[in-house]
Amino acid sequence: MRRIPQSCIAIALLACSPLQAVEAEINVHIPQIETAQYYRPYVAVWIENAEQEPVKLVALWRKEPDWLKDIRRFWRKLGRSDAALVDAMTGATRSPGQYRLHWQGDDDQGQALPKGKYTLYVEASREQGGRSLQKIAFELDGKPYQLRATALEELGELVFTIK
């Protein structure tokens, strides 16, 4: 499992993975879309490791289970296989606006993730609308930085900050 090895703590914290106390902010933007029939998008925010395995579901905004499959990558990577996690993380759909999400560098079990390469995914799918997928590859290395992904049809600019 992803426990911090005792020896690591004893010898030198800095040299060891996993990292301590990551403070990350994810700014998700749901754009205003002018259309006759506007339904709020279904949105999933999650993190995959270097093997493209999901390690952390940060947010899931949705309503009916029937349309969960339309958040395509989310559904394939984690939604279809982990009903308990989906239920636990489900939040209401959001209206257009900026949303600030916080992540402490932990996985779905609350354990700190080891140093390494990860990818942040934000996927939005709107009924009678489109589907957009943003991704930001990043490295958990203890350093602060800010990364951005350009705006798409269903998602405004994505900003990922590690403080």
Partner 1 sequence: MKKLLLAAIFTLSSQSVLAHTLWVMPSHFVLSGEDTWISVDVSAANMTFVADKGVSPDSLRIIFPDGQSQPFAQQYQGKRKSQADHQLVADGTYLIENGGAPRYFTLFEVNGERKRIMADKKAAMSELPKHATKITTSRSQSKALAVVTVNAPNRKAITPKGEGFEVNFVTHPADYVAEDAIQWQLLIEGKPAAGVKVELSREGELYRNNAARVTLESDTEGKLQFTPEHAGRYLLEASYQANTVTALADNERASLTLTFEVGVP
Radius of gyration of the chain (CA): 17
Pick one of 25, 49, 67, 127: the residue that binds partner 1 (CB under 8 A).
67
**The two structure tokens encoding residue 136:** 């930001």
Q: Residue 15 corresponds to which tokens in the numbers above?
A: 């040299």
Q: Cβ of residue 52: shortest distance to partner 1, in angstroms?
A: 10
Instruction: Round to whole Å and give the CA distance between 57 and 48.
Output: 9
To partner 1, the closest distance from the beta carbon of 80 in angstroms equals 5
Q: Does 65 bind partner 1 (CB under 8 A)?
A: yes
Task: Give whichever of 103 and 118 is closer to partner 1, judged by the CB atom.
Answer: 118
Among 56, 121, 131, 134, binds partner 1 (CB under 8 A): 131
Residue 74 DSSP one-character state: H
Q: What secondary structure letter does DSSP report for 83?
A: H
42-49 and 54-61 beta bridge pairing: antiparallel
Q: Does 54 bind partner 1 (CB under 8 A)?
A: no
Q: Give the pair of three-digit tokens for residue 86.
A: 């989906």
* By the rule CB under 8 A, 64 interacts with partner 1: yes
Euclidean distance between CA atoms 46 and 22, whole angstroms: 16
Binding to partner 1 by residue 126, rule CB under 8 A? no
Q: Residues touching partner 1: how many (CB under 8 A)?
A: 16
Residues that bind partner 1 (CB under 8 A): 64-69, 72-73, 75-76, 79-81, 83, 131, 133
